[in-house]
Amino acid sequence: MTELPARNLSLPLDRAAREAGHGRLPGEHSVHRRLFDWIWSIRGNLALPPGQSADEAFARLDPLFQQTGTSHERTGDRLTFRKKDAAAQDKMSIFDDGVLRVEQGVLHYRLASRALLFCFLAPLLFLAFAQFTIVIRDFEKQSAEASETSKKPEEKEVERKLHPIDIALGAPAPEKPKKDGAEDGEDGDKGPSPTPAYVFAGLFAALYAAGRVLEDRLVKSLFRKRLLGS
Amino acid sequence: MNAVRVGKRLIGAEAPVTVGWENIPKVQGGPVKRFVFTWFQPTVLFALVAFWYYAPNSIAKASTAIAIGIGFKVLLLALEWVNPRHESWRLTWKELVTDLFYVSLGYTVLAMAESYIGADAVIEAVQASFDWDKLAWFATMPLLLQALAISLIFDFGQYWMHRGMHNWYPLWLTHAPHHFITQLNINKGAVGNPVELFLIGIGIGGFFDFLPRAVLLAGTLGLAVGTYQHINVRFNTPRWWRFLFNTTEHHSMHHSQDYEATRSNYASTWIIIDRMFGTCVDGEAELLGMEGGRKMSIRETMVYPFTEGWKTLKARFGRQTPDQDRFGEQTFGDHAAVPAE
């Protein structure tokens, strides 16, 4: 945990001036990048309570950056932080790094999350798994057809009977073995199925949408509670 | 730290644990809440057993079991929300997504790999090589007895595999990532290295010839009992249940940050197996994990057995630096991937 005095002398003056000129937070990127970095970045503004200085605001937020695996730097009215392997119990564990700035009584923040990015990309991964499964299934079908002629005769299923106790208790009797050539119901369509991969692709897409909205609100509420001291 | 002597060992010397049922908190709240969280577990177990016993053949299928399993887990997620055991174990969005990622691997790539090189393939090969008809008598026993036998045989295998993982370094490397979880939630059972999931799934029960309905009944025992290993819900679990079955309390003790506590409660469903072999410790823990509760990322979880194994091999058989003893402490590197014994 490092907290630097009021100014970070290591920040080159020309870069600081450029960033100030563009009204960007240090570490912020160009407008072009902002077109798509909303996927993993959460931005927001929060008005400080009347009369609250930047020092006071950062002092109130400080416990959030005193977590295991979190390092932070304070440079004037800006605070940057970085997290590595944050504990599940860390209230900001979803974020890997971020910048907070107080300007004219307003807290501006940009927080980046690899978890959001990976969740956004996860559906693509599972769609790829689904395609891979289809390829494997087709390959298996072809090789099964090719070896149809050399197939060993299947063992005949024996008819199963229930124990007398189960008959007395009314348990349904086991199904009789199917006649040769009959469709095998559930087992008829053998081979790997792409359905689970499609389901998880949809699930991660829904989770991304929910998480992008939820985490935006949660972090705003967390900052607000800290700043108001309630 | 106040340690408690349990048999020959001292539990809780390194991290806080609660030993003894009399010291474990009860469900708080009104009479309805206390009633629900006292009777939920046995009611669901008996209801599911009755369902699988009497369901017509058209319903008693694996697909129904999967649907019930998913529905049950969603219900338990809701219970985690209503009555958490510990506030510090609350499920966050990130934890949910991470856990589901491991679950999804189990349903997709691992399921496919399992069918080619996993336990199913091994069992099929062994069954094809020998005449197993002499075990056909198993299928003539009463259904519930068959289900009990399947569950106990499978759990017995899992007990020794799990205990082996805590006692033999190569196996421990595969299991260690699972011990980095710092809270218990419904899907935490799936969190771990895929190699471990292969190994833990190997069971000798598969060699016997059972009625399909008996297998479904045994599966429901795993669902309605084993699922409670990883859950953030406070229940007033009945005395007979916690004597026979594994509970969240037992498994939280197993995941404690206290080393000695982790060397207990290895069974998956039947804690009575631990009682038989003297490894059961009744109690619970809130502070979980390894290396002081360090979070392990998905990437590290996937490569950990290989990177740590490589480090160990290099330290043991590679070129020695003057300050390294061939069998000295440094042979296991800086991390806590030391064999459990």
Q: Distance of CA B104 to CAs A10, A166, B33, B45, B191, Å?
A: 45, 38, 33, 26, 11
Q: Which two tokens stand for residue B322?
A: 């003057």
Q: Are A26 and A11 in contact (CB under 8 A)?
A: yes
CB contact under 8 A, B101 and A122: yes
In the prediction, which pLDDT does B124 show? Answer: 65
| B contact test, residue of A132, A159, A200 with most B CBs within 10 A | A200
Query: What does the alpha-carbon distance between residue B335 and residue B320 come to, in Å, rounded to a whole number?
Result: 19
Nearest CA in chain B to A205: B97
In the prediction, which pLDDT does B292 show? Answer: 86
CA distance B142 to chain A (A): 5
Residues of chain A with C-beta less than 8 angstroms from the C-beta of B297: 85
The residues, ordered by sequence, that sit 6+ positions from B183 with a Cβ below 8 Å of its Cβ are A88, A89, B86, B88, B89, B90, B95, B232, B288
Compute the CA torsion angle B90, B74, B220, B126 (nearest 10 deg): -90
Mean pLDDT estimate for chain B: 87
- If one compares A85 and A8, the residue with the highest pLDDT of the two is A85
Q: Which two tokens stand for residue A195?
A: 């359905």
Q: How many CA atoms lie within 13 A of B127 on its CB side?
A: 16
Nearest CA in chain B to A175: B57
In the prediction, which pLDDT does A122 show? Answer: 97
Q: Are B102 and B191 in contact (CB under 8 A)?
A: yes
Residues of chain A with C-beta less than 8 angstroms from the C-beta of B143: 162-163, 166, 171
Is the pLDDT score of B178 beyond 60? Answer: yes
Per residue, what are the HEC states of A119-165?
Answer: HHHHHHHHHHHHHHHHHHHHHHHHHHHHCCCCCCCCCCCCCCCCCHH
| pLDDT (mean) for B10-33 | 94
Residues of chain A with C-beta less than 8 angstroms from the C-beta of B80: none
Listed residue (B252, B235, B283) closest to B89, CA to CA: B252
Residue whose token pair is 């057809």: A145
- Binned at pLDDT 50, 70 and 90, residue A14 comes out as very low
Query: What does the alpha-carbon distance between residue A34 and residue B61 come to, in Å, rounded to a whole number?
Result: 51
Among B38-42, B144-148, B321-325, name the one with the lowest average pLDDT. Answer: B321-325
| pLDDT (mean) for B97-122 | 83
In the prediction, which pLDDT does B278 show? Answer: 94
B93, B111, B295: residue with CB nearest A85 = B295
Q: Are B176 and B289 in contact (CB under 8 A)?
A: no
- Binned at pLDDT 50, 70 and 90, residue B121 comes out as low
In the prediction, which pLDDT does B244 show? Answer: 97
- Binned at pLDDT 50, 70 and 90, residue B293 comes out as confident
- Phi/psi for B25 (5° steps) reads -60, 155
Instruction: State percent of chain A over pLDDT 70.
Output: 75
Burial of B185 (0-12, 13-18, 19+ CB in 10 A): buried
- Binned at pLDDT 50, 70 and 90, residue A34 comes out as confident
Q: Distance of CA B192 to CAs A213, B163, B226, B280, B304, Å?
A: 29, 16, 17, 23, 10
B94, B141, B211: residue with CB nearest A115 = B94
Q: What is the CA radius of gyration of chain A?
A: 30
DSSP secondary structure of chain A: -----S--TTS-HHHHHHHHHTTPPTT---HHHHTTGGGTEEEEEEEPPTT--HHHHHHHHGGGG-STTEEEEEETTEEEEEESS--TT-TTTT-SEEEEEEETTEEEEEEE-HHHHHHHHHHHHHHHHHHHHHHHHHHHHHHHHHTSTTPPPPPPPPPP---HHHHHHTPPPPPPPPPTT---GGGSS-S--SHHHHHHHHHHHHHHHHHHHHHHHHHHHHHHHHHHT-
Q: Which pTM does this prediction carry?
A: 0.84
| pLDDT (mean) for A66-71 | 91
What end-to-end distance do the CA atoms of chain B give, in Å? 22
pLDDT in tens, A138-179: 888 888 777 765 555 555 666 778 899 999 999 998 887 666
B96, B108, B142: residue with CB nearest A200 = B108
CA distance A196 to chain B (A): 6
Mean pLDDT estimate for chain A: 82
pLDDT in tens, B206-257: 556 677 899 899 999 999 999 999 999 999 999 999 999 999 999 999 999 9
Q: Are B224 and B48 in contact (CB under 8 A)?
A: yes
DSSP secondary structure of B246-282: --HHHHHHHTBSSHHHHTS---SSBTHHHHHHT----
Which sign does the torsion angle of CA A93, B97, B190, B16 carry?
A: positive
Residues of chain B with C-beta less than 8 angstroms from the C-beta of A214: 93
Whether the CB of B303 is below 8 Å from some CB of chain A: the reply is no
**Crossing angle for the helix pair A114-146 and A195-228, nearest 10 degrees?**
170
In the prediction, which pLDDT does A17 show? Answer: 42
Residues of chain B with C-beta less than 8 angstroms from the C-beta of A204: 97, 100, 104
CB contact under 8 A, A207 and B96: yes
In the prediction, which pLDDT does A12 show? Answer: 39
Nearest CA in chain A to B138: A163
In the prediction, which pLDDT does A130 show? Answer: 95
Query: What does the alpha-carbon distance between residue A123 and residue A4 come to, in Å, rounded to a whole number?
Result: 41
For residue B11, the cross-strand partners are B4
Strand, helix or coil at B132? Answer: helix
For residue A61, the cross-strand partners are none
Is the pLDDT score of A135 beyond 80? Answer: yes
Please report the ipTM that was assigned to this predicted complex.
Answer: 0.83
B53, B112, B142: residue with CB nearest A136 = B112
Residues of chain B with C-beta less than 8 angstroms from the C-beta of A160: 139, 211
Is the pLDDT score of A182 beyond 60? Answer: no
Q: Distance of CA B118 to CAs A179, B196, B201, B221, B317, Å?
A: 31, 12, 8, 23, 31
Q: Which two tokens stand for residue B117?
A: 């090189």
- If one compares A16 and A229, the residue with the highest pLDDT of the two is A229
In the prediction, which pLDDT does B330 show? Answer: 42
Which sign does the torsion angle of CA B228, B234, B240, B244 carry?
A: positive
Cβ neighbours of B261 (radius 10 Å): 30
